[in-house]
Structure 1
Amino acid sequence: MMNRLKTLFIVALAFTALTYATERVYLAPFSTVGIDKDLGITTEKLMHAYIDENGRYVLVNYAEDDSVKVGDYESINKVAIQKNCSKFIMAEFTRLGQSVVTSFKLYNVNNEKPVWSDRLKAANPDDFDPIIERVARNIGSKRLTTDDDDIYTVTEQETIKPRKKGISGYFGLNIIGDLELTPNTNMLAGIGLFALFDAKKIFFGLDFTLTNMGDELNKPTFYDFSLSVYYPFGSSNNTPFVGGGLSYSWHITFDDNDELPYTAEELSTNGLTGFVGGGILLNRASSVAFLLQAKYFIDFFNTPYVEETSSKKYKKTNKHIQGLKFSIGIGF
């Protein structure tokens, strides 16, 4: 019984190996634009060597008397059939400036849709070897060459740092009106510093604001450090935008009443504040711009308040603050 199982296992392995080994693939002449033709011949030989090394296909090189036109699907398909191949490979090498774009496609005969294709960029001819080695290792599989993470076939092109788009920025001063809706209806005033970075399709904001520098019991002082992101509507000189962000906020309720046991430090708190809103950036194309904004904000923490409960009697309570904030600023 064991001998029969071993025999069946060996036959299955042999059949599998025979199936893969007998799949013949025709390698058409490479199309080369803007590079030396000798490089094209060299890369064809490299392709043959690496595919043979991987052993998944039997590669059939084109012959001088093959009636094929470089890059022509019809003539290549016809010759592949004549040579009893089930598939064929087409490749293109095109120079663009200092780099070369390489393209590889694997076709089934009589099917114009490639079963596998990939494209890589070579910084120089030294990149051809690792590119072709990776193509030979992955062609015909479910994996693309660009996803191959073998450390020994990294190209020089892949080590180049990506270019970053430039952005413009405004730094300036704004005046703030803060309408506290709950727990008390108060109108506070303040000042702030801001930075607004214009990345064309998105704005990034950085703000520091100080609101209400007085000492009234029911009007806390707000210190806010905010990060925000906004979506601009278009690219006009006067651009409206909407968005939101998050602030780290520090609130202090000052107390000058001698009858209270609390100190200013005991009446301070801090936490996160969320906000949404919008505005308009005026004179966007200039080096000096105006920024008009309106926001709705809500604290994710409680702020201590001093409340009068009866004649000359007070107590400390914790309140949740939300409200509206308006500002006008000038940036340079």
Structure 2
Amino acid sequence: MYRLLLFGAVVLAALDVAAARADDSAVPQTLVLPFRTVGVSDTTATVVAELLQGELEGRGVSMVARSLRSADLLPGESACDDAECAKAAARSYGASRVIYGSLSRLRDKIIVRVRAQWIADAAPYYADQVTSTTEEDLDAVVRRVADGIALGRSNAQHATIETVTAQETLEPRRRVGRSGGGLRAGFIFPVGDSYGGVDRLTSLRLAHVFEIRDYLIESTPVLGFAWRSGTVDWTLLDVFAARIFGIGDFAPYVGAGLGVHSVRVEKQVTNYSGTFPYLVSSEQSETTLSADVGVGFLALRTYDYKLVMDLRYHYVFAEFDQLGGKGAHGVAISFGTMR
């Protein structure tokens, strides 16, 4: 009886081993070919291929025993980034999938180009290109490529905290413009008995200006006020864009803008008690949208210190109906400097 049980155990173990081998042979094998190099050393290419194989194995991909070096290839084969020769090499090693590509140096950049293809398919199912600024960054590039191959889609723009490259930490290049700040002072002359019937408001604002050859953008965040008695027009934000005509020291411009203003209007009305007059004050406050259209000119534009003159029509989108519905709008004249 003991011998019979021992024989049965041996038979079951042999069947388990055979089944495991059959399962292993059924799992698709992946071959990583040597990367073709342009201006990059063969040592770097070998390290990249081995790193890629290790990352794929860590993601559960079944690989051909080890990544190949050029010396490991069959006679007549070489590193390639062409689909047909890559598939031929994969068939020679019994692989169902092949990964191939190139490493190319462009001055300080190393461009990593990778393709992954099932040998039964006509075209790669994965194709990506990632740029590294140093050889030390190639391990992060490899991890990102391995993620993409395992997911089955290109993801050069997808990154984790472990796959951000030095190239991506650099600030993107931008065309240079001139910007600076300046103080504007002037007056708003109400139209149609607006702003509670005052004759004018004194205005003062701090503006930031961004200027390029033919355009300027002026913004006033918070620091803009116009006032007279109890009437106050407070600028929460103004943005004004203008087209500049001319490139000399004196250049006119035409523009328009939008803003958000908080306006308090006070209106005084004369009443009579018998024959004695007295003033009654009423007020209303609104926070709403505003719009401006205007013209102006820049003086000393070729210098880093400019003079600005500005004429605008300023309109606040509120009727102030509790004070007679005359609204808040008028002609704004200002001047100032800008650096």
Equivalent position to 1:54, from 59, 67, 73? 59
Code of the residue aligned with 1:247 in structure 2: it is: V
Q: Does 1:191 align with 2:197?
A: no
1:173 is aligned to: 184
1:275 positional shift: 1.8
Q: 1:122–1:155: 8 Å Cα contact kept in structure 2?
A: no
1:147 positional shift: 1.9
Code of the residue aligned with 1:245 in structure 2: it is: L
TM-score when normalising by structure 1: 0.66
CA displacement 1:189-219 (0-9 Å, x = unmatched): 5333342331647724116555463x5xxxx
2:235 is aligned to: 225
Q: Does 1:44 align with 2:44?
A: no
CA displacement 1:53-84 (0-9 Å, x = unmatched): 22345458454335345444554355446556
Assess, with a 3 A threshold, how the Cα gap between structure 1 residues 209 and 145 changes in structure 2: closer, same or farther: closer
- In the alignment, the residues of structure 1 paired with residue 193 and residue 127 of structure 2 have an alpha-carbon distance, to the nearest angstrom, of 62
Identity between Structure 1 and Structure 2 (%): 12
Q: 1:232–1:239: 8 Å Cα contact kept in structure 2?
A: no
Q: Does 1:331 align with 2:337?
A: yes
Assess, with a 3 A threshold, how the Cα gap between structure 1 residues 170 and 293 changes in structure 2: closer, same or farther: farther
Q: Does 1:129 align with 2:139?
A: yes
TM-score when normalising by structure 2: 0.65
Assess, with a 3 A threshold, how the Cα gap between structure 1 residues 243 and 254 changes in structure 2: closer, same or farther: closer
1:255 positional shift: 4.1
2:310 is aligned to: 292
Q: Does 1:90 align with 2:95?
A: no
| Structure 1, unaligned runs of 5 or more | 1-13, 306-316
1:105 positional shift: 3.0
1:206 is aligned to: 220
Assess, with a 3 A threshold, how the Cα gap between structure 1 residues 281 and 250 changes in structure 2: closer, same or farther: same
1:253 is aligned to: 266
- In the alignment, the residues of structure 1 paired with residue 106 and residue 140 of structure 2 have an alpha-carbon distance, to the nearest angstrom, of 19
Q: 1:68–1:79: 8 Å Cα contact kept in structure 2?
A: no
1:90 positional shift: 3.3
1:44 positional shift: 0.6
1:145 positional shift: 4.6
Structure ID, larger Rg: 2
Assess, with a 3 A threshold, how the Cα gap between structure 1 residues 53 and 202 changes in structure 2: closer, same or farther: farther
| Structure 1 vs Structure 2 CA RMSD | 4.3
Describe how 1:87-166 pairs up with structure 2 within 5 A. Answer: 87-96=97-106, 98-107=108-117, 114-139=124-149, 141-142=152-153, 144-149=155-160, 151=161, 153-155=162-164, 157=166, 160=169, 162=171, 165=174
Per mean C-alpha deviation after superposition, the further-off stretch among 98-107 and 129-138 is 98-107
Describe how 1:272-291 pairs up with structure 2 within 5 A. Answer: 272-277=288-293, 279=295, 282=298, 285-287=302-304, 288-290=306-308
Q: 2:218–2:241: 8 Å Cα contact kept in structure 1?
A: no
Assess, with a 3 A threshold, how the Cα gap between structure 1 residues 234 and 267 changes in structure 2: closer, same or farther: closer
- In the alignment, the residues of structure 2 paired with residue 108 and residue 278 of structure 1 have an alpha-carbon distance, to the nearest angstrom, of 65
Code of the residue aligned with 2:288 in structure 1: it is: L
- In the alignment, the residues of structure 2 paired with residue 192 and residue 158 of structure 1 have an alpha-carbon distance, to the nearest angstrom, of 45
Per mean C-alpha deviation after superposition, the further-off stretch among 248-257 and 121-130 is 248-257
Q: 2:261–2:316: 8 Å Cα contact kept in structure 1?
A: no
- In the alignment, the residues of structure 2 paired with residue 235 and residue 272 of structure 1 have an alpha-carbon distance, to the nearest angstrom, of 32
- In the alignment, the residues of structure 2 paired with residue 128 and residue 110 of structure 1 have an alpha-carbon distance, to the nearest angstrom, of 30
Assess, with a 3 A threshold, how the Cα gap between structure 1 residues 164 and 133 changes in structure 2: closer, same or farther: closer
Per mean C-alpha deviation after superposition, the further-off stretch among 271-280 and 37-46 is 271-280
CA displacement 1:112-135 (0-9 Å, x = unmatched): 865333343435333222321232
1:168 positional shift: 1.6
Assess, with a 3 A threshold, how the Cα gap between structure 1 residues 68 and 232 changes in structure 2: closer, same or farther: farther
Give the total of aligned pairs: 294
Q: 1:21–1:58: 8 Å Cα contact kept in structure 2?
A: no
- In the alignment, the residues of structure 2 paired with residue 181 and residue 91 of structure 1 have an alpha-carbon distance, to the nearest angstrom, of 74
Code of the residue aligned with 2:203 in structure 1: it is: I
